[in-house]
Amino acid sequence: MSDNKPRTVVVTQRFFDEETIAYLQAQRCEVRLAELPPGKADGELAEDTLAQVLAQADGWIVGHARVTRALLERLPGLKVIARRGVGYERVDTAAVADLGKVATIAAGGNDASVADHALALMLAVQHRLRESQMQMNAGSWAILTGADLYRKTVGIVGLGRIGRSVVQRLQGFEARILAVSQQQDATWARQHNVTYVDMAQLLAHSDVVTLHAPLTPATRLLIDAQALARMKPTAVLINTARGGLVDDAALLAALQSGAIAGAGLDVFLSESDPAHAGTTQALIALPNVVATPHSGASTHEGLGRTNRIAAQCVVAVLDGGQVPAGCVIADGRPRA
C-alpha cells in the first residue's frame, strides 16, 4: 500500500450488511450508501444522478445500473466497478478496459441461493401451489392433481456454477438430467447422472426445462415459439437466469393454449425493455405461472456472500492486490 489515504466506496444497492461495511472500513475505505427512491433500484437511476452520486468514488459496488462509456468518462477517479451479482450484460466491458478501470463480478456468491430458488419454482409449479391457494382464497378446497419432481427428466441449459448447483440438488430427487453446455466434462457428468444432449433433444424429452445460461447474442430469445413447440404439453419452463433468454410473448401464448403446462419465472424481458411490461403482467396473472421479481439471489445469506466478494474485489483493486478467482470481467490496468 502506497499511503494511508482513505478511499471512497459508493454502494448503489440495497441490503448492504453491516459486517461488509465494517470490513471495508477496516481496509481504509469510507463507505457511502446511496439513497435510492422508495421502491427503486439503481438500474432506474438516470445517468446524471449516478454521475453525481459517484463523483468522488474510487470504487463502486453496483447492482443493475447500466455502466456505460458515457458514464465512465464522467468519472475519471473511479478505479473499480464491482457488480454484486454475476450477470454483466449491462456493463460496457470494452469501455471499462479502454478507460483504464477494472470491473468485477461476485463469482460464486449467489450460486446456492439461485439454485435453491430454481428448485423452489420447479416444485411450486409441479405441485400447483399457486393455483391451489387461489382456489382456497376463492372458497374452494377442491384438490388439484399435481406432478412429482421425483424421477422426472430435467433439462438444464447451461452448466456453469449455478447450473451445477442445481444438478447437485436434483440428486435427491433421483432425476434424470439432460444438459446443454458449451463445455462438457465427461467424468463429472457420469458422477452426477448427467447426459449431454443437443437443444432439440433436451426440449423434446424434459419434464422440466430450467435455464442457467448467460445472456449473449447467441442465447438471446433462445426459448422462442419454435422451442416451446418442441416441449411436452406436460412440461414446465423455469427461468432464474436472464429475461432475454425467453420470448415472453411466445411463452404467454404457449401457456394460454396449453402447449406447455406451466412456468416458474424470476426474470422477464420487461426488466430491460419496458415495452414488454404488458406481456409480463399477463404472464404473472396466469394461475399456472409462479413469478418472483428477480429475487432468486436475494436471501440474507446470498446477499451477505455477494456483498463480501464485491467488497473484496474493490479492496484488491485499490490495493493493487489479487482479485478473487473468476471475478475480473474487464481490466484496463497497465501491464507490468
Decide: 67 and 45 in contact? Cβ < 8 Å.
no
242 is catalytic: yes
Q: How far apart are CA 80 and CA 209, in angstroms?
A: 37
Q: How far apart are the first and last CA of the chain?
A: 17
192 is catalytic: no
Number of CB atoms found within 10 A of residue 22's CB? 11
Question: Which of 14, 90, 294, 333 is labelled catalytic?
Answer: 294
Q: How far apart are CA 296 and CA 112, in angstroms?
A: 10
Question: Which of 271, 276, 305, 308 is labelled catalytic?
Answer: 271
Decide: 108 and 323 in contact? Cβ < 8 Å.
no
Decide: 33 and 11 in contact? Cβ < 8 Å.
yes
Q: How far apart are CA 203 and CA 64, in angstroms?
A: 31
Question: Which of 64, 128, 161, 242 is labelled catalytic?
Answer: 242
127 is catalytic: no
Tell me which residues are annotated as active site.
Answer: 242, 271, 294
